[in-house]
């Protein structure tokens, strides 16, 4: 094989590899978003509502803050929220042992992207 043909072959292989990697990343992201939305639906909506405003029966009883307006005490990165959820906060239950790390990270990512105010 000439140098040039070899280079072309290597380039083609690299391109294919990069495209595959990109697709895999995109797919993993949508999977995480889906999981986050599912966990939020099951575990969080009852207090915080679909829109994060907390205008539900349980939300009012527990005085759940409006997540779209109020500052978050422990910070608004998904890492910080995952930690808050793991440990609980005030009347919010703790999810350590109730949700897997994967579920915690996914739901934290979801809540931050949907509700957190731009900082």
How many amino acids of this chain bind ligand HEC (CB under 6 A)? 26
- Smallest distance, ligand HEC to C-beta of residue 115, A: 7
- 48-to-68, 76, 78, 82, 96 alpha-carbon distances in Å: 10, 16, 17, 16, 19
Q: Is 106 in the site for ligand HEC (CB under 6 A)?
A: no
Among 91, 96, 100, 117, binds ligand HEC (CB under 6 A): 91
**Segment holding 96, helix H or strand E:** none
Q: Which two tokens stand for residue 1?
A: 């094989």
User: How many other CB atoms are there within 10 angstroms of residue 78's CB atom?
Assistant: 20
Separation between Cα atoms, residue 118 and residue 67, nearest integer Å: 12
- Smallest distance, ligand HEC to C-beta of residue 98, A: 9
| Terminal-residue alpha carbon distance, the chain | 56
Q: Is 21 in the site for ligand HEC (CB under 6 A)?
A: no
Among 35, 78, 82, 84, binds ligand HEC (CB under 6 A): 84
Residues that bind ligand HEC (CB under 6 A): 40, 43-44, 46-48, 58, 62-65, 67, 72-74, 81, 84-85, 89-93, 95, 107, 111
């Amino acid at each position: 094989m000439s140098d040039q043909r070899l280079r072309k072959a290597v380039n083609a292989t690299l391109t294919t590899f990069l495209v595959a990697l990109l697709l895999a990343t995109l797919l993993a992201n949508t999977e995480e978003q889906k999981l986050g939305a599912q966990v939020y639906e099951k575990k969080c909506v009852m207090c915080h509502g679909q829109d994060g405003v907390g205008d539900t029966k349980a939300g009012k009883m527990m005085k759940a803050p409006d997540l779209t307006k109020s500052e978050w005490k422990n910070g608004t990165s998904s890492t910080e929220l995952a930690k808050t959820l793991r440990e609980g906060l005030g009347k919010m239950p703790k999810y350590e042992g109730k949700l897997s790390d994967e579920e915690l990270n996914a739901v934290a990512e979801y809540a931050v992207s949907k509700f957190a105010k731009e900082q």
